[in-house]
């Protein structure tokens, strides 16, 4: 199983870096985790967006969802349009959320109800159930965030990666990530005192979460570039003690591989 970073910025894109988005690939299955603003150029450079197996959304904040809008236009009006609808799995409340966006953007007499449904096969997932997409299984766990948000554990039968989405420190989420080959963990904050109130982590807290999870490798994401990538990595390494990388577009992680390709890391 491989993971390639599509974005990795916090609530606003960093220079030359979009927000939340990650491409997971395994034996022909291709799944995108979150679809934040600015990830589509990288995604389109890597693969045919029309043939993705699914997009899965962790929660309904704009920095995790907004590129669903330009993706909708690309699928509907771009060259090579087909009748296939791309499966998009939303958290509870996601259908109503997209309905509100469609109501604001639908024009020229187009029914708002068809705005997204014409190109996406929309489903709200049950966070208490396991989702299967191709060769991958996905389990969910609630995080500690300002709105309902779900971490995801993606497994291929041999290896596992855990995407913690947005969360404040919580032992339940660390237990959910236990033993993962790769933990993708946010490092949004500069001051740990704000963690509980805004539902985010510092880089040091991310390292502590990865250590508690006994993860193999930590990937820091959802960060402000102004905080400094080297500084964030050093703070997380000090708390984790294991390998730490910082999300940048195109960075690829090969789970369980003995060798990593050019520009790649082994997790």
pLDDT in tens, 100-137: 999 999 887 778 789 999 999 999 999 999 999 999 99
In a domain, 259, yes or no: no
Q: Does residue 260 sit within a domain?
A: no
CB 196 within 8 A of CB 160: no
CATH number at residue 26: 3.60.15.10
What span, in angstroms and rounded, lies between the C-alpha atoms of 54 and 88?
6
What is the pLDDT of the chain when averaged over all its residues?
94
267 pLDDT higher than 80: no
Helices 229-240 and 203-213: crossing angle in degrees, nearest 10, is 30
Does residue 262 form part of some domain? Answer: no
Does residue 263 surpass a pLDDT of 60?
Answer: no
Instruction: Tell me if 246 is assigned to some domain.
Output: yes
| Least confident span in 2-6, 164-168, 256-260 | 256-260
Query: C-alpha 200: how far from its chain's center?
Result: 15
Query: Residue 96 pLDDT more than 90?
Result: yes
Query: How does DSSP assign 64-111, residue by residue?
Result: GTTTHHHHHHHHHHSTT--SPPEEEEE-TTHHHHHHHHHHHH--TT--
CA-to-CA separations, 64 to 95, 167, 253, in angstroms, rounded: 15, 13, 21
* Lowest mean pLDDT, pick from 7-16, 104-113, 152-161, 186-195: 104-113
Domain that holds residue 243: 2-254
* Domains in the chain, number: 1
The pLDDT score that the predictor gives to residue 119 is 96
How many Å separate Cα 47 from the centre of its chain? 17
For residue 195, being part of any structural domain is answered with yes
């Amino acid at each position: 199983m491989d993971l390639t970073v599509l974005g990795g910025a916090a609530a606003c894109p960093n220079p030359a870096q979009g927000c939340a988005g990650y491409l997971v690939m395994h034996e022909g299955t291709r799944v995108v985790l979150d679809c934040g603003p600015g990830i589509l150029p990288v995604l389109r450079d890597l693969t045919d967006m029309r043939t993705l197996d699914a997009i899965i959304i962790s929660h309904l904040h704009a920095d995790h969802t907004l590129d669903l809008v330009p993706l909708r236009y690309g699928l509907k009006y771009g060259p090579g349009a087909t009748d296939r609808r791309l499966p998009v799995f939303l958290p509870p409340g996601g259908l109503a959320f997209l309905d509100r966006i469609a109501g604001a953007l639908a024009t020229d007499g187009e029914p708002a109800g068809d705005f997204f449904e014409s190109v996406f096969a929309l489903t709200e997932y049950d966070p208490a159930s396991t989702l299967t997409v191709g060769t991958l299984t996905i389990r969910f766990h609630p995080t500690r965030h300002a709105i309902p948000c779900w971490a995801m554990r993606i497994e291929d039968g041999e290896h596992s990666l855990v995407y913690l989405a947005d969360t404040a420190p919580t032992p339940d989420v660390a237990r959910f990530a236990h033993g993962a080959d790769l933990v993708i963990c946010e490092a949004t904050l500069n001051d740990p005192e704000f963690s509980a109130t805004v539902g985010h982590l510092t880089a040091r807290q991310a390292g502590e979460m990865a250590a508690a999870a006994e993860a193999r490798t930590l990937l820091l994401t959802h960060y402000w570039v102004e905080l400094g990538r080297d500084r964030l990595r050093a703070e997380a390494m000090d708390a984790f003690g294991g390998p730490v990388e910082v999300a940048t577009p195109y960075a690829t992680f090969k789970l369980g591989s003995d060798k990593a390709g050019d520009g790649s890391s082994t997790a």
